[in-house]
Structure 1
Amino acid sequence: MTDKDYQDQIRISDDRIDQLTKPIPSRDFRRAAEAIRSATPVTNEDQELVATYDEEDYVNLLLGFRYISEFMPRVLLEIRARSIDPHSGWRVENVTNGNGDHGLCAICEEPFEHHGMTFKVHHLDMHPGSFEGVCRECVKTYGPEEFGFNDELIEWVKKNPGVCETKEPDSKREGQRRELVDTIRRHANSTHYPRTIAELSPKWAEDAVGEWR
């Protein structure tokens, strides 16, 4: 190989490394997503796939879906959190209603419920003037620096009860139980009837074990 051949190989390797390690420009990402959405499978009268993606594409599409599902929520979370104005984008409010401030956190989208006092934020996804509640973990992670000098707020963050009180002596079982509780809360708070769903979930879960479909 000549020196030029070596330089060409280095350039090709560098380009490939850039492709694998640098973020895809968001506009290109959106174009790719729109192309995937428009690529509706077409079948003939025998229900055989005759257009767009087929069996040979399955592994590529499956891995792409898994990678996106893994990293995209975290990327969006960070963008939402960093878009909050540290001076005007955060509010501390007293909670007076019986159910407290509850729902899915405006930053991490995990379920939360606060009584007495709550934090609310405005980020780039929201309409002008609208504020939504955030969980203690996000207040601790993304809140303005001056919050760290307020004794009342420090105590409020430390008060975080987590998902719920510990009920299982085995840590693994307790972790699984808390994940189940959070899943129920997450689903309940994604609808307009969180309290009703949360109250009915033990009854609905009675048929969870056994043959299914």
Structure 2
Amino acid sequence: MGEMTHKDYEELIELLDGRIDELTKPIPSKQILRFAEAIRSADIGDEDSEGTYSQEDYSNLLKTQSIVNELLPLILENIRGNSIDPKTGWRFEPVTAGDGNHGLCAICEKPYQHMKHTVKARHFDMHPNSYAGVCRECVRRYPPLEFVDRPEVSEWLDHNLHVCPKVEIDQKKESQRVDMIDAIRRHAHSEHYFSDIVQEAPEWSRDAFGEWR
């Protein structure tokens, strides 16, 4: 094998750089969709057949699931939050309903409940005349400063310090507690078994009452 020339090294570096870009550059969303549709068409398998994917594929699929579960919701949240018109897309309103304004945040889709006042917003994927509630965490992150700095909005945001205080010292345990409350709220607002579920888990679920986020 002959010695490599300077030109050979340059060509090799260019080839490696291209390969690195190919492996690390985010792929277009249409290609991600094609991957998802390909998974949908996979044969799940049964007692008589193994299906499209086997034990050898398990590790790759498990890592894929972990990445998608972790990052895709954040990407979608960011798109929704940054699409809101800074002048007409945000509203600070009083709450008239007895049980407050509650449901899933229009941006991050996490459960919230506001009792006296609430913030509503409209992102690109909603009806032009439709405004939906937004949790305090997203109100801190996405609106323009002139909206957040309004005295009534600023006071409302500060109230959050007393609404969702940290209970557990251990960060992992606190995260699990919040996840449980979120799960209770998601289920309660969709199935109407709020009080029944709370009675089954009184320690962590007590914060599921009243305001949240």
Fold-level match, TM-score > 0.5? yes
Secondary structure in structure 2 of the residue aligned to 1:61: helix
3-state SS, counterpart of residue 193 of structure 2: helix
Q: Distance in 2 between matches of 1:10 and 1:150?
A: 55
Number of aligned residue pairs: 197
Q: Give SS of 1:171's match.
A: coil
Closer, same or farther in 2 for the Cα pair 1:97/1:41, shift >3 Å? Answer: closer
Kindly provide the amino acid, as one letter, of the partner of residue 26 in structure 2.
P
Question: Which residue of structure 2 lines up, in the alignment, with residue 3 of structure 1?
Answer: 6
Residue segments in structure 1 that go unaligned for 5+ positions in a row: 207-213
Deviations 1:44-91 (A, max 9, x none): xx6132x52222222111111111111111111101101111112112
Structure 2 CA distance, aligned partners of 1:106 and 1:165?
A: 23
1:31 and 2:34 equivalent? yes
Greater CA drift, 139-148 or 157-166: 157-166
Query: Would you say the 8 A contact 2:94–2:116 is kept in 1?
Result: yes
Counterpart of 1:171 (choices 160, 165, 169) is 169
Question: Normalised by the size of structure 2, how large is the TM-score?
Answer: 0.81
The aligned amino acid for 1:147 is: F
Q: Is the 8 A contact 1:163 1:181 kept in 2?
A: no
1:12 and 1:133, CA in 2 relative to 1: closer, same or farther beyond 3 A?
same
Structure 1 stretches of 4+ with a deviation exceeding 6 A read none
The structural deviation recorded for 1:205 is: 4.8
Which one-letter code corresponds to 1:54 in the other structure? S
2:185 aligns with 185
Offset at residue 153 of structure 1 (A):
1.2
Aligned to 1:141: 141
Structure 1 residue 204 displacement after superposition: 4.4
RMSD: 2.3
Q: Which stretches in structure 2 are left out of the alignment for 5+ residues?
A: 203-213
Write the mapping of 1:44-83 to structure 2, written as runs, cut at 5 A.
47-49=48-50, 52-83=52-83
- Matched AA of 1:171: I
Shift in alpha-carbon separation, 1:67–1:156, aligned structure 2, 3 A: same
The 2-side partners of 1:197 and 1:7 are apart by: 67
